[in-house]
Amino acid sequence: MQETIVQLTYLAASVLFILGLRSLTKPDDARRGMQLAALGMLLAIIGTMLHQEILTYTWIVTGLIIGTVVGYPLGKFVPMTAMPQRIAFSHMFGALAATLVGVGEFYHMYQGEHPTNPSVADTRFKMAAIGFEVMFGALTVSGSFMAFGKLQEFITGRPITFKGQNLLNGLLFVAASGCFGWLMYEPSNVVAFYSMVTIAFVIGFMLVLPIGGADMPVVVSLLNAYAGLAASATGFAIGNNVLIIAGALDGASGFILSMIMSKAMNRSFANVLFGAFGSGGGVASKKTADGMVAKSIKAEDAAVLLGYAGKVIVVPGYGMAVAQAQHQVRELAELIEKKGGEVKYAIHPVAGRMPGHMNVLLAEANVPYDRMYDMEEINDQFAECDVAIVIGANDVVNPAAKTDPGSPIYGMPILRVSEAKSVIVLKRSMNTGFAGIENELFFDEKTSMLFGDAKASLSKLVSEVKQL
């Protein structure tokens, strides 16, 4: 009877996970989707605690308390600008949990005080699950730490490459696969098991090392997929159905999202993982800022353009996130609309440092969901736009992606801001983006640069528009 209750609880949790994931496909249903998923996780925890193999709740309660003490501040007080690195950090702990479960299972079978020492025939399937679990888990731990470091900028966000890097990575993968095969032949081999775990940790570091910050949205999504696969393998290793289902959902959705974002950048998985975005390759671009002049504009003049514009398109980027200027963006848009203008928001799939970064920030500022448009939906509207205002975006609006075959971003789909009748760009300086190249848009004759902190500049614009 108790086992039936546990399995029914797991089934209900799995259904809630699926419904929650389904709700995340629409911005206005996303909050409800997260609530459904959270309820599913609660049921999964309750089902696990009812399991007859659990004899004491001491360690579970201890972990629950520690997790709450650490997790609540991370969720409540970490600013939205730091959300990408917080997510990478969360992936690291999720993968670490899966890895430790795999190590614990192996230790229990062959190294504990009372090892079970099952027969080879009985353990090959389980060892396959444990092997996948610890390999994907270990490389996700170290890979997520590298992603966290690059996003937090205590590790350089630029690609780090060296001669023979891909060959070394290939040899490490072959070595890990060899240890895995060795375990299939001799499941009790301690050297093979811990060598595989160690090599997998090194692979995680090496995989993210050559990836630049511009590719971080894809990397974060891919690491999420790896963590899901590790969790699913954990379910097979310990016979837990809800882990199998939840991990498979996480892994599949992460891979699909990674492919969507790679397509948005017109790049393959292999190019993202091994291409060292922004570090060169192909025909080197010769275009520089020499001889080109950017035209600056005062907030007063920019306010006049915006206040009397019939159609305005806002293009948010990472600079908006850094300045935490999303609330000022919404306030400016409301003023323009009160004066009879129409305001829309153009969202590039890889703007920011995580999937959906701009959508999350704008939703936090209560920007209506129906004003946010994907790149494909809004690109044709730039030609009819009176003013396009770019806030901290760089590579995703760079015309070089269309005009310069030597550019590292050539072929990447961009927001066609250059087609607008007038363009205002808010930036601190003329520094390049993560691709490390000059942006032709900034030197266009119809582009005006409003220099300064985005939040301060937008506050000034709001003040000036009110006076019109």
Q: DSSP E strands: which ranges in 181-322? A: 295-296, 311-316
Residue type, position 114, single letter: H
pLDDT of residue 281: 39
pLDDT of residue 45: 85
Mean pLDDT of 83-110: 87
Three-state DSSP at 66 gives helix
Beta strand 342-347 pairing with 372-374? parallel
Residue 448 host element (H or E): strand 447-451
Q: For residues 434 and 188, which has the higher predicted lDDT (pLDDT)?
A: 188
Q: Could you report the per-residue pLDDT of 242-272, keeping only the tens digit for each? A: 889 989 988 888 888 888 777 776 666 666 6
Query: What percent of the chain is predicted at pLDDT more than 90?
Result: 33
Mean pLDDT of 126-134: 88
Q: Could you report the per-residue pLDDT of 286-296, keeping only the tens digit for each? A: 455 555 678 89
Q: Which pLDDT band holds residue 332 (cuts at 50, 70, 90)?
A: very high
Q: Is 143's pLDDT higher than 50?
A: yes
Catalytic positions are 395
Looking at every residue in the chain, the average pLDDT score rounds to 84
Q: Return d(Cα 332, Cα 225) in angstroms, integer.
A: 38
Give the predicted TM-score (pTM) of the model: 0.75
Using CA atoms, how far residue 387 sits from 22, 134, 384, 395, 422, in Å, is 36, 52, 9, 19, 5
pLDDT of residue 425: 94
- Judged by average pLDDT, the poorest of 39-43, 78-82, 197-201, 311-315 is 78-82
Q: For residues 137 and 113, which has the higher predicted lDDT (pLDDT)?
A: 137
Q: Is 140's pLDDT higher than 50?
A: yes
Q: Is 167's pLDDT higher than 50?
A: yes
Mean pLDDT of 80-95: 82
Q: What is the DSSP track for 147-165? A: HHHHHHTSS-SS----TTH
Q: Is 454's pLDDT higher than 80?
A: yes
Q: How many CB atoms lie within 10 A of CB 412?
A: 22
pLDDT of residue 303: 93
Where does 77-119 have alpha helices with state H?
Answer: 83-110
pLDDT of residue 156: 77
Residue 344 host element (H or E): strand 342-347
Q: Is 214's pLDDT higher than 90?
A: no
